[in-house]
Structure 1
Amino acid sequence: MLSNSSLTDKITILIVDDHKLIRDTWSFILNSDDRFRVIAETDSGQQAIELANSSHPEIILMDINMSPMNGFEATKEIRKIAPSSKIIGVSMHSQPAYAKKMLQMGAVGYITKNSSKEEMITAISEVAMGHKYICNEVKTILSEQILEDSEKPDVNLLSQREVEIIDLIKQGQSSREIAQHLNITLKTVEVHRHNILKKLNLKNTAALVNFINNAGIN
């Protein structure tokens, strides 16, 4: 039997999820670890607010996909009445936008339901120590998005003359026709076309035309 002192040393946890199997599984995992104690669980965002107010758990595992009150709304209310409780958002969604919104509501951590048992325990431990925690799945997706954004063509790099030439290409004009239209040499047009492809990181004219159409350049 645990002594009172050993009980108080444990990190107290409230589990909020509308699936009983998930609540039971998390409770079993966490209560099997000497560092944690699940003090309550619920399938309701509204009841989560009441339990947070009455028991002030150190950590709240908050499912964001519930109804009628979702985890975002419950988190926002709990932060008002139990600011000492640290909330970790839990969701099937791995898109960084969900994690960002949860943090904006007052959570300090975010894991997905694809996260491993070890990562959930790591998240709880880190948050309990005052750190923020975002699971590896979300961080990987965020890194990929940042890399993709950095590789996207930036039309702001183009000069006014290059924009004019792109507009004429969009109209279907050949390099010779563009040269006549702008009263410049054919060689100058070809140099501009080369520079446009280089600045936009595009391989050829076909890729440029596709970019023009998709980007909606006027």
Structure 2
Amino acid sequence: MCKIAVLERFTLLGSGIASILSNEKDCQVILAKTREELVRKLDGTIPDVIIIDIIHNENSGFKPLKRFRNIFPHVPVLLVVSASYADCFEEYIRLGVKGFIFDSSDRDELLNAIRKLKKGGEYFTDKVWKIFKSSIQSRKHKPIDQKLTDREVAVLKLFSSGLTYKEIGSELSISPRTVETHKRNILSKLKINSTADMVKYAYRNKILI
């Protein structure tokens, strides 16, 4: 029996993965919307594979990914991604991710990826390497933006580590409202639209804690 832990914030996609796997006689699926719920449902047991839907996770999924790597250091992780997360592929791999499937992947590809990871292998398709290579090439020609103040860089680093407005405010001795103001300024200066974009920018440019 292969025990698959699935972290998916939105029930629709999670149920889709669970539905596919439930038709496989040798698969047991543990589905949860948060990392805390998933750890609780596992109740001390160790899954064979962890699947995380990065697309619908805050901060590009780095926080739950790091958490799972600490709790289950030897369990292979399969990420559900899209091409827009190519800037994060390198860091995901560095954090121990063993495979990627895209949100457009079909049943056969999902099952193939799970089987490879369960056997101790990896699942990185030609499409993944093509997108990854393209991201690296474009990165070489992008200078690191110097518009951010020291305080904005500090806020960016803390958002990238998964902290909340309140936690960042406490860390920097400023109010959550001031943190929100800094975030708006960062988004405006970098011409990006979300916290996920901030996290990807930080990892791409090595602006890390």
TM-score normalised by L of structure 2: 0.57
Secondary structure of the corresponding residue to residue 97 of structure 2: coil
1:106 to 96, 102, 118: 96
- Match for 2:38: what amino acid? A
Greater RCO (Cα-Cα under 8 Å, separation 6 or more):
2
Once the two structures are TM-superposed, the CA of residue 15 in structure 1 deviates from its matched residue by 0.9
1:140 to 127, 130, 152: 130
Distance 1:68 1:138 in 2: 22
Contact 1:52 1:85 in 2 (8 A): no
Structure 1 residue 89 corresponds to structure 2 residue 79 = yes
Distance 1:17 1:113 in 2: 12
1:46-85 per-residue CA deviation (whole Å, 9 max, x = no partner) reads: 3334445623111111112445575221121111122232
- Match for 2:11: what amino acid? K
1:11 to 2, 9, 12: 2
For structure 1, which runs of at least 5 residues remain unmatched after alignment?
A: 1-9, 153-218
Q: What is the 5 A alignment of 1:167-186?
A: none
Distance 1:102 1:62 in 2: 12
Secondary structure of the corresponding residue to residue 133 of structure 1: coil
| Alpha-carbon RMSD | 2.7
Contact 2:54 2:60 in 1 (8 A): yes
Judging changes above 3 Å, is the alpha-carbon distance between structure 1 residues 48 and 65 closer, same or farther for their aligned structure 2 residues?
Answer: farther
Distance 1:145 1:44 in 2: 30
Distance 1:117 1:85 in 2: 22
Judging changes above 3 Å, is the alpha-carbon distance between structure 1 residues 68 and 50 closer, same or farther for their aligned structure 2 residues?
Answer: farther
Once the two structures are TM-superposed, the CA of residue 129 in structure 1 deviates from its matched residue by 0.6
1:131 to 116, 121, 124: 121
1:31 to 3, 22, 25: 22
- Match for 2:54: what amino acid? I
Once the two structures are TM-superposed, the CA of residue 34 in structure 1 deviates from its matched residue by 2.4
**Pair member with larger Rg:** 1
Secondary structure of the corresponding residue to residue 51 of structure 2: strand
Secondary structure of the corresponding residue to residue 55 of structure 1: coil
Once the two structures are TM-superposed, the CA of residue 93 in structure 1 deviates from its matched residue by 3.5
Judging changes above 3 Å, is the alpha-carbon distance between structure 1 residues 133 and 94 closer, same or farther for their aligned structure 2 residues?
Answer: farther
What fraction of aligned residue pairs are identical, expressed as a percent?
21
Judging changes above 3 Å, is the alpha-carbon distance between structure 1 residues 65 and 137 closer, same or farther for their aligned structure 2 residues?
Answer: same
Judging changes above 3 Å, is the alpha-carbon distance between structure 1 residues 66 and 142 closer, same or farther for their aligned structure 2 residues?
Answer: closer
Once the two structures are TM-superposed, the CA of residue 113 in structure 1 deviates from its matched residue by 0.6
For structure 2, which runs of at least 5 residues remain unmatched after alignment?
A: 142-209
Contact 2:7 2:33 in 1 (8 A): yes
Contact 1:60 1:88 in 2 (8 A): yes
Pairs aligned (count): 139
Distance 1:65 1:116 in 2: 16
TM-score normalised by L of structure 1: 0.55
